[in-house]
A = this chain, B = another copy of it.
Amino acid sequence: MYSLLKELFPICRSITGDGVRESLGIIGRRIPLRVTEVPSGTRCFDWTVPDEWNISSASITDSKGRKTVDFADNNLHVVNYSEPFSGTLEREELMPHLHSIPSQPDVIPYVTTYYKRRWGFCLRHKDLLKLKKGKYKVEIKSSLKPGSLTFADAVIPGRTKKEIVISSYLCHPSLANDSISGVVVATHLYKYLKARKDNYYSYRFIFVPETIGAIAYLKMHKEHFLKNVYAGLVLTCLGDSGPFNYKKTRQGDHSLDRICANVLKHSGHPYSLREFWLPGSDERQYSSPGFNIPVGSLMRSVYGEFKEYHTSDDDLNFVKEKHLEETLQMYKSVIDAVESDFHYINLNPFCELHLSKYGLGSNPFKQEDPNRYFRKILTLLNFSDGKHSLCEIADKLDVPVLELAEFAKTLEQKKLMRRS
């Protein structure tokens, strides 16, 4: 995953423009993507797709001809969506266009201006302090004109039309954990699900610019979402060393919330469960009251809460392959659990099974304490009355839902239970 991250990292993305297209091209060489262009000016609910933004270079040159700030060094140096500009300014005239973080003098901040025409530069506060009185030549070679917004998706059909959405966003330029780590894990999760046999749910992978991209996507697929989408996950901030954080769905008690809590609890990793909050990422759109789709977000450190967030320190050193792998593994477990969380019906509901008749008199699975084994299999059979999901029964037992899923599979194969 780290190699994909490295490939995507340097590109200057925004909510529109060639950076997004190039990034989708890179992902599209790994998994089959359907790319869609939405023309500037397209009305999407309360929003309108803005003009397309592209940039080739931007710099501030001092009176001695030295490039004080150069987009070529780091694409965070230019305020994202800056309008083109060329001119010479006194330091005092330049100042209102410069952004830095006094309390973090060594980092370049990430600033955008999608819906307000202006231009600006971002720089380390320590460099800003070095700017002497005098004239500065400013050159921003960007374009802001009608074009389109680009997004992509990929669907893996399952046995049912009920869909789970896996959504990540790729509008951020050179930021590794926020945005790109989600895209990278999503790409690999796609491969896992594609290879996984006999998926019950269909899976819809969505790669969009955040907010306006998700809004445009929902506008184009409104009826589909209202009819078929069962739940979703937003992937972001997945590659740092922080503990796991699961942000619950708007509903707060959806089976997805229960599953993520079960998987995290039994994972051995430190984690927290958090109630749904706003703002956030694209769950804001999926879970708006008109759509009301249960969408959770399983993260490592939470956006806005780590000091590298939206600065040049959210770079390739901040994200580690090891953490991406752990996170991918957690997502695979969540998916496996979602795919096992059925409401089963015990086909011999009157009195208990004579387990030994079915080779179930002692644990057929693996070396395990017999008391624990009987507790699990009898509890599973007892509560498989069509009213309790597998995960609810696992939670009664305080065992991993995936451990109980093995039992359920065996009982299903022996025609002792069926899915309701």
Residues of A at under 8 Å CB distance from B?
44-48, 115-116, 211, 214-215, 218-219, 222, 250, 275, 277-279, 284-285, 287-292, 304, 346, 348-354, 356-357, 371, 374-375, 378-379, 382-385, 396
Enumerate the 5 nearest inter-chain pairs by beta-carbon distance, A residue then B residue, closest first.
Answer: A290-B349, A290-B350, A289-B385, A278-B378, A289-B349
Question: How far, in whole Å, are A371 and B310 apart by their CA atoms in the complex?
Answer: 15
Known: A378-B278, A378-B279, A382-B278. A289 touches B346 (CB 8 A): yes
Known: A279-B378, A284-B378. A354 touches B46 (CB 8 A): yes
A289 partner residues in chain B, CB cutoff 8 A? 346, 349, 382-385
Among A211, A214, A289, A351, the one with the most B-chain Cβ atoms within 10 Å of its Cβ is A351
Nearest CB on B from A41, distance (A): 14
Question: How far, in whole Å, are A354 and B215 apart by their CA atoms in the complex?
Answer: 11
A379 partner residues in chain B, CB cutoff 8 A? 277-278
Q: Are B250 and A351 in contact (CB under 8 A)?
A: no
Nearest CB on B from A359, distance (A): 13
Q: Are A350 and B291 in contact (CB under 8 A)?
A: yes
Q: Are A350 and B278 in contact (CB under 8 A)?
A: no
Q: Are A382 and B284 in contact (CB under 8 A)?
A: yes
A44 partner residues in chain B, CB cutoff 8 A? 351
Since A46-B353, A284-B351, A284-B378 are in contact, a sample of 17 more A-B pairs with Cβ atoms closer than 8 Å, ordered by chain A residue number, is A46-B354, A48-B354, A218-B351, A275-B396, A277-B375, A278-B379, A279-B375, A279-B378, A284-B382, A288-B349, A288-B351, A289-B346, A289-B349, A289-B383, A290-B350, A290-B351, A304-B371
Question: How far, in whole Å, are A45 and B250 apart by their CA atoms in the complex?
Answer: 45
A291 partner residues in chain B, CB cutoff 8 A? 350-351
Q: Are B287 and A382 in contact (CB under 8 A)?
A: yes
Question: How far, in whole Å, are A116 and B47 apart by their CA atoms in the complex?
Answer: 73
A382 partner residues in chain B, CB cutoff 8 A? 250, 278, 284, 287-289
Question: How far, in whole Å, are A255 and B167 apart by their CA atoms in the complex?
Answer: 38
Nearest CB on B from A292, distance (A): 7
Question: How far, in whole Å, are A284 and B346 apart by their CA atoms in the complex?
Answer: 14
Number of copies: 3
Known: A289-B383, A385-B289. A348 touches B46 (CB 8 A): yes
A46 partner residues in chain B, CB cutoff 8 A? 348, 351-354, 357
Question: How far, in whole Å, are A401 and B174 apart by their CA atoms in the complex?
Answer: 41
Question: How far, in whole Å, are A354 and B379 apart by their CA atoms in the complex?
Answer: 51
A396 partner residues in chain B, CB cutoff 8 A? 275
Question: How far, in whole Å, are A287 and B115 apart by their CA atoms in the complex?
Answer: 56
Nearest CB on B from A362, distance (A): 11
Q: Are B385 and A351 in contact (CB under 8 A)?
A: no
The one of B275, B304, B350 that contacts A45, using a Cβ cutoff of 8 Å: B350
Known: A382-B284, A382-B287. A348 touches B278 (CB 8 A): no
Nearest CB on B from A371, distance (A): 8
Nearest CB on B from A358, distance (A): 9
Question: How far, in whole Å, are A415 and B304 apart by their CA atoms in the complex?
Answer: 32
A47 partner residues in chain B, CB cutoff 8 A? 351, 354
Question: How far, in whole Å, are A385 and B346 apart by their CA atoms in the complex?
Answer: 39
Nearest CB on B from A392, distance (A): 13
Question: How far, in whole Å, are A311 and B46 apart by their CA atoms in the complex?
Answer: 66
Known: A278-B379, A378-B278. A284 touches B385 (CB 8 A): no
Question: How far, in whole Å, are A290 and B351 apart by their CA atoms in the complex?
Answer: 7
Known: A284-B382, A346-B289. A351 touches B45 (CB 8 A): yes
Tell me the nearest residue of chain B to A287, going by C-beta.
B382
Tell me the nearest residue of chain B to A396, going by C-beta.
B275
12 contacts between A and B (CB under 8 A): A46-B352, A46-B353, A47-B354, A116-B356, A218-B351, A222-B350, A250-B382, A279-B378, A284-B351, A284-B352, A289-B349, A289-B385
